[in-house]
Amino acid sequence: MAEVRLVDIEKKYGNFLAVPQQSLTIEDGEFLVLLGPSGCGKTTTMRMIAGLEDITAGDIMIKGERVNDKPPKDRDIAMVFQNYGLYPHMTVRQNIEYPLKLRGVAKADRRKRAEETAAKVELDALLERRPSELSGGQRQRVALARAIVRTPSIFLMDEPLSNLDAKLRVTMRAELKHLHHELGVTTVYVTHDQMEAMTLANRVAVMREGRIVQLDTPKKIYAEPADLFVAGFIGSPSMNLIDGTVSGGVFRAEGVDVPIDMPDREGVVLGIRPEELEIAPGGAAFTGKLYALELTGDSTLVTLRAGKTSVCARGHADFEADINTDCHLAPKDGARFHLFDRASGERLI
C-alpha cells in the first residue's frame, strides 16, 4: 500500500494547458475517484501518476519517494483499462500469470498465485478458457485478476466498466467495492459516471477544465456542492437549478416563490434536489403546468414547467395526472435549498 502525493503538478501540450498547477494527496489504502466530463483532465492526471505522461512541472511522490523520472514498471503500480488488453491466444490462467512470468517467478508459484487470485474474482472455473469464450464481465474480471496478482502498491483504473451493459456494471461495482475492502490497496479510479463515483469512492475529486473543483466524500459532495457545476453534475436526476432574484427575503422566478434568508440580490440560482420536493394540492412554492411524467419503477419523476422555469420532483410510483394540467410542488419538511451566484457559479448558501 502507498500514499500518493501530487505536488504542484502541471501538464501542457505545447501552448495548451491541460492540467493547471494543483496538488492532491491520495491517502494510503484510499479509493479515490477522479470524476468529470470528457476532456476535463482526469485521465491525463492518472497517466501522469502512472508515468505514461511526463509532467510539465511539479513532483509526483509515491510512498514518500519522488518518481518523476521513474518508468511505469518501477512505480509498483498495476493498471486496468476499459479495453481489457487481454492476450487472445492465452488462456485465462496464462493471462493472469503473465505479469509474474515477466518477473521470473517460478512456474509452480505462478500457478498457485494465479489460482488464488482467480478465486477472488470468481474465475476459478474458467482458468482454461480463452478470452473469446468469455462474457464482457468475465473478461473484465480477468483484467482485474491480472492486476491483482502482482500485489502492487497502487491500482490505477481508467473507465474499467464503460464497455459493460448496465446490469453488469452494477455487478462489477459491487465486486470492485468488495475487492478493495479485502485488499486495501490504494486505488485511483477514473470515470465520467457519477453513480460509479458515488458508490465506489472514499473520496471524489470532481474535475472541470483540468482543475479539481471539489474534493470530499460522496455524501458531502452530494449534500453541499461547491458550485453550480458540481450541483448540476452530481445526482440523477440532477439538482433543479432555477434562475431568479432575491427580493424582500423571497427568491422569485416565474412560477416560484420561496422564502430565503439573505439580502436582496439579482443574478442568483436556486437549487433543490427532486427528492426533496413533493406534489402539493395548491398554493405551493412551485406552480405551473404538468410537463412530463416518467415512471422509473419505484417512483415517478414529475416535471412542472412555468414559462422558462422547469422543476422536477420525485413522486410516488402510482401518481397519475394529465399533461398540461395545473401542478403544484412544495418542499418537504427539512428540505435544503442551495443558492449560487449565476456569474461566478460560487455557492452562496
Q: Map residue 204 onto helix, strand or coil.
A: strand
Range of the domain at 276: 239-341
Q: Mean pLDDT throughout 309-337?
A: 95
pLDDT per residue as tens digits for the range 206-236: 999 999 999 999 999 999 999 999 999 999 9
The amino acid at 250 = V
User: pLDDT value at position 243?
Assistant: 97
Q: Map residue 61 onto helix, strand or coil.
A: strand
Domain total for the chain?
A: 2
More confident: 187 or 1: 187
What share of the chain has pLDDT > 70, as a percent?
A: 100
Backbone angles phi, psi at 179, to 5 degrees: -60, -40
168 and 145 both lie in a single domain: yes
- Residue listed under C-alpha cell 467495492: 177
271 and 202 both lie in a single domain: no
213 and 132 both lie in a single domain: yes
Last residue of a domain, one of 232, 261, 279: 232
Q: Are 299 and 314 in contact (CB under 8 A)?
A: yes
